[in-house]
C-alpha cells in the first residue's frame, strides 16, 4: 500500500491551514494597527459665506450703513466647524482665520460639543481681517462651531490655517467634501474593493473590513485634495 504524502493527510492539512490562517490574521492585524492605532487629525469645514447686506448699485452711493458702529459697505457671515476626526487627543490646536485685506471682523461666537468639560479656547489675536484662536484640548469627536461676522469685505474669501506639530490638519469647504464623496462613489468600481468585499463575505473574511475603510479613506483624501 502506497504511503500517503503528509500534505494529503486531511488532519495535517487542517492544522497547517489553521496555522497559515493565524499567521495571515496576525500580519493583517499588525498592518491595520500600524495604520490606525494612533491618528492625530483635526478637520475644519468651511460653510458657504452669507451676505447680510445687499443693495443695488443705483442707491449704493446714497446709503450710509453702520454695523456694530462700523461704516459698512458689506456684511458677511461665516460659519466654520472644527473637529477632532482622529482617535487621539490633540492639544494647543491653533485656528488662524484670514479674510481679504479690506475686511474687518466685528464679532464672533463659539459653541462647543460637548458643552461641558471642553478644553478652553483662547483668543490670541483679533485685529481687522485676522482672528487667531487656540484650543487647549480637542478629544476625539470634540467639535467647535465658530460663527464670524465681518464688514467691508471685497469678497467672501476666507482662509483657515491650523498647522500643529504631529497633527494632520485639513481645511476644506463643505462643497468640496460633498463633491469628493460623490466623486468616490461615482467612479468606476475599484477591483481591489470588489475582491475584498468577496473575501469579506466568506466565514473567515471579517478581517478585511478595516482594509476597505483604509482604501476608502485614501480615495476620499485624494479626491478632496483635487477639489479644494
Look up the pTM and report it: 0.65
DSSP state of 12: H
Let me know: does 83 contact 141? Beta carbons within 8 Å. yes
Place of cell 479690506: 102
Q: Are residues 53 and 165 in the same domain?
A: yes
What per-residue confidence (pLDDT) applies to 115? 86
Q: Which residues contact 60 (CB under 8 A, 6 or more apart)?
A: 73
Q: Are residues 66 and 154 in the same domain?
A: yes
Q: Are residues 113 and 165 in the same domain?
A: yes
What per-residue confidence (pLDDT) applies to 64? 74
Name the domain boundary from 172, 198, 217: 172
Place of cell 481679504: 100
Please, what sign has the CA dihedral across residues 222, 223, 224, 225? Answer: positive
169 - beta bridge partners? Answer: 42
Q: Are residues 70 and 167 in the same domain?
A: yes
7 lies in some domain = no
What per-residue confidence (pLDDT) applies to 131? 97
Domain containing 223 equals: 187-228
Q: Are residues 162 and 105 in the same domain?
A: yes
Mean pLDDT split into 10-residue runs, the chain, 228 residues? 55 54 51 64 90 69 72 88 92 95 93 86 94 95 94 91 92 71 51 53 54 58 56
Tally of domains in the chain: 2
Which whole-number Å values give the CA distances from 105 to 20, 51, 67, 100, 110, in the listed order? Answer: 63, 14, 11, 10, 14
Let me know: does 103 contact 169? Beta carbons within 8 Å. no
Kindly provide the b/e burial profile for residues 159-180, where b requires at least 16 CB atoms within 10 angstroms of the residue's own CB. ebebebeebebbbbbeebbebb
Amino acid at each position: 500500500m502506497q504511503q500517503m504524502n503528509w500534505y494529503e493527510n486531511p488532519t495535517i492539512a487542517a492544522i497547517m491551514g489553521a496555522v497559515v490562517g493565524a499567521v495571515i490574521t496576525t500580519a493583517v492585524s499588525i498592518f491595520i494597527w500600524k495604520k490606525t492605532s494612533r491618528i492625530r487629525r483635526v478637520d475644519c469645514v468651511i460653510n458657504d459665506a452669507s451676505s447680510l447686506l445687499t443693495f443695488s448699485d443705483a442707491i449704493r452711493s446714497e446709503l450710509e450703513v453702520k454695523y456694530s458702529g462700523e461704516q459698512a459697505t458689506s456684511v458677511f457671515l461665516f460659519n466654520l466647524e472644527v473637529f477632532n476626526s482622529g482617535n487621539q487627543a490633540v492639544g494647543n490646536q491653533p485656528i488662524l482665520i484670514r479674510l481679504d485685506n479690506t475686511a474687518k471682523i466685528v464679532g464672533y461666537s463659539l459653541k462647543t460639543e460637548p458643552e461641558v468639560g471642553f478644553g478652553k479656547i483662547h483668543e490670541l489675536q483679533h485685529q481687522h481681517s485676522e482672528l487667531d484662536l487656540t484650543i487647549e484640548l480637542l478629544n476625539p469627536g470634540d467639535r467647535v462651531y465658530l460663527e464670524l461676522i465681518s464688514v467691508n469685505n471685497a469678497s467672501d474669501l476666507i482662509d483657515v490655517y491650523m498647522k500643529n506639530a504631529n497633527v494632520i490638519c485639513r481645511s476644506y469647504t463643505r462643497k468640496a467634501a460633498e463633491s469628493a464623496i460623490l466623486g468616490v462613489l461615482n467612479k468606476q468600481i475599484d477591483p481591489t474593493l470588489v475582491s475584498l468585499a468577496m473575501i469579506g463575505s466568506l466565514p473567515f473574511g471579517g478581517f478585511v473590513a478595516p482594509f476597505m475603510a483604509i482604501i476608502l479613506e485614501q480615495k476620499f483624501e485624494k479626491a478632496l485634495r483635487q477639489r479644494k
